Amino acid sequence: MEDIFDTQLEAAIQKLEELWQKTEQLPSKSNPAWQVFAEETSFQTEKLLLKESLHELGNTLQELQCTLEEMHLKNDQLAVNQMLLEGERQRYQDLFDFTPHAYLVTDVAAVITEANQAAAKLLGVRCDRLIGKPLIVFLSEVERRNFHNKLIKLQSNKTTQEWELEIQPRNKQPLPAACIGVPILNSYSHVIGLRWQLQDISQRKQAEEMEKQWRMLDRILSASPAKICLIDETGKYLYASPAAAKIFGLAATEIVGKTIQNLGFSPEIVEKFDRQIETVASTKVSITDEFTLYGINGVADYEYTIAPLADDSLIEGNAVVVTFRDISKHKQIALEINKALTKQKQLHVMKARLISIVSQEIRTPLANIYASAEILTNYSQNWSQEKRNKQLQNLQKSVKYINQLFDDLMLISEAEVGKLQVNPSILNIEQFCQKLIAQTPFCEEKTPTINFSVNCEYSNVCLDKKLLRYILVNLLSNAINYSPDSSEIQFDLITEGKGLILRIKDSGIGIPAGDRSHIFEWFYRGSNVGNVEGIGLGLSVVKQCVELHKGKIAVESEVGIGTTVTVTLPMYYAR
Question: How far, rounded to the nearest angstrom, does the alpha carbon of residue 462 sit from its chain's CA centroid?
Answer: 54
Cα(405)–Cα(364) distance, integer angstroms = 13
pLDDT tens digit string along 302-314?
Answer: 888 888 876 555 5
Are the C-beta atoms of residues 244 and 260 closer than 8 Å to each other? no
Residues 6+ apart with CB under 8 A from 1: none
- Cα–Cα distances in angstroms (integers) from residue 417 to residues 266, 410, 544, in the given order: 44, 11, 12
2-11, 58-67, 184-193, 484-493: range with lowest mean pLDDT:
2-11
Walk across the sheet containing 499-505 and list its strands: 449-455, 488-496, 499-505, 562-570, 552-558
Are the C-beta atoms of residues 112 and 135 closer than 8 Å to each other? yes
pLDDT tens digit string along 404-453?
Answer: 666 666 666 666 655 667 888 899 989 998 888 887 666 556 667 888 99
- C-beta neighbour count of 295 within 10 angstroms: 15
Helix intervals (H) in 99-140: 117-123, 127-130
Q: According to the model, what pLDDT value does residue 221 have?
A: 65
Bridge partners (DSSP) listed for residue 80: none
Question: How far, rounded to the nearest angstrom, does the alpha carbon of residue 185 sit from its chain's CA centroid?
Answer: 59
Residue 40 has pLDDT above 60, yes or no: no
The per-residue pLDDT of the chain, averaged, comes to: 77
- C-beta neighbour count of 573 within 10 angstroms: 19
Residue 47 has pLDDT above 70, yes or no: no
pLDDT tens digit string along 328-381?
Answer: 787 788 788 888 777 777 666 656 555 555 655 566 666 667 677 777 677 666
Q: What is the pTM of this model?
A: 0.39
* Better-predicted residue by pLDDT, 24 or 101: 101
Compute the CA torsion angle 232, 235, 236, 237 (nearest 10 deg).
Answer: 80
Determine phi and psi for 502, rounding to 5 degrees: -115, 115
Cα(359)–Cα(94) distance, integer angstroms = 112
Q: SS3 breakdown of the chain: % helix, strand, coil, rounded to 5?
A: 50, 20, 25
3-state secondary structure 197-215: EEEECHHHHHHHHHHHHHH
Determine phi and psi for 567, rounding to 5 degrees: -115, 125
pLDDT band, residue 216 (cuts 50/70/90): confident
